[in-house]
Structure 1
Amino acid sequence: MENLIKKNHADKQMGLGILIIVIGSVFLLRNTGIDIPHWVLSWHTIMLGAGLWIGYRKNFQGSGWLALTIIGAIFTLRDITILDFELSKITTALVLIGLGLWVILKPSKFKNFSNNFQNTSNVHEIKN
């Protein structure tokens, strides 16, 4: 148990360290004159990253991380422009496709009722 706690703490430290390095690298690149898009360090990109981070830490169970990720992704996609094409024109379609994939691929939480009656080898019939 103690080894698991130490490993979990080490994973948190590693993730936090990588996050700080990435943010510092973006600031360094921006301050040296390299053009970094404004959306890289915006509130919605941070929200997107936080949602993915929380989802990773909770093995993508629950839906709190999903709300953060979807809101951050929608606003981030609105700001990204690739080759003079605004992704905001297809954001709604991408969100609907992602939602559909999530509904299809999420694990089912219900148990099939008929599986409870398959093993009837130990049941004895009562004869009158």
Structure 2
Amino acid sequence: METFIKKNQADKQLGLGILIVVIGSVFLLRNSGLDIPRWILSWHTIMLGAGLWMGYRKNFQGSGWLALTIIGAIFTLKHIVIFDFEISKITGALAFIALGLYLMLKPERKINFQNTQQEKKADFSDLNT
């Protein structure tokens, strides 16, 4: 158990270190005169990255990471222009398609009801004394 905790802590430090190096590299490239788009370090891109990171950490179980990812993706896609085509025109449709695919492909939760109906017998033996 102790080695698992140490490995988990090492993974967190590695991920945080990579994130800080990437952010520092983007700042360095931007300050060096390279044309880096503003949306790369905006709040919605950070929200998108945080949602994906949370999903990765939880093996993409639950839906908290999905909400962050969808909101971040919608606002990030509004600022991306590829080949003079604004992706913001199709962002809503892409969000619905992604949500539908998630609902279709998410793993099913199987609830076992066999152990929930156990009989519990009352013990009144100490009342007779």
TM-score by length of structure 2 reads 0.84
Whole-Å Cα distance in 2 between the matches of residues 102 and 2 of structure 1? 35
Shift of 1:109: 1.6
Give the match for residue 65 of structure 2: 65
Whole-Å Cα distance in 2 between the matches of residues 58 and 99 of structure 1? 18
Residue pairs, 1:1-128, within 5 angstroms: 1-110=1-110
- In the TM superposition, what whole-angstrom CA distance separates every residue of 1:17-48 from its partner, at most 9, and x where no partner exists? 00000000000000000000010000000000
> SS where residue 103 of structure 1 aligns?
helix
Percent identity of paired positions between Structure 1 and Structure 2: 76
Shift of 1:100: 1.2
Shift of 1:16: 0.3
Deviates more, 1:33-42 or 1:103-112: 103-112
Q: Which amino acid aligns with 1:57?
A: R
Moved over 6 A (4+): none
TM-score by length of structure 1 reads 0.84
> SS where residue 61 of structure 1 aligns?
coil
Could you tell me which runs of 5 or more consecutive residues in structure 1 were left unpaired when the two chains were aligned: 117-128
Whole-Å Cα distance in 2 between the matches of residues 109 and 6 of structure 1? 30
Shift of 1:112: 9.5
Whole-Å Cα distance in 1 between the matches of residues 109 and 6 of structure 2? 32
Number of aligned residue pairs: give it. 114
Could you tell me which runs of 5 or more consecutive residues in structure 2 were left unpaired when the two chains were aligned: 115-129
Whole-Å Cα distance in 2 between the matches of residues 80 and 71 of structure 1? 15
Whole-Å Cα distance in 1 between the matches of residues 84 and 43 of structure 2? 23
For the aligned residue pairs, the C-alpha RMSD in angstroms reads: 1.6
Whole-Å Cα distance in 1 between the matches of residues 52 and 111 of structure 2? 29
> SS where residue 79 of structure 1 aligns?
coil
Whole-Å Cα distance in 1 between the matches of residues 100 and 111 of structure 2? 22
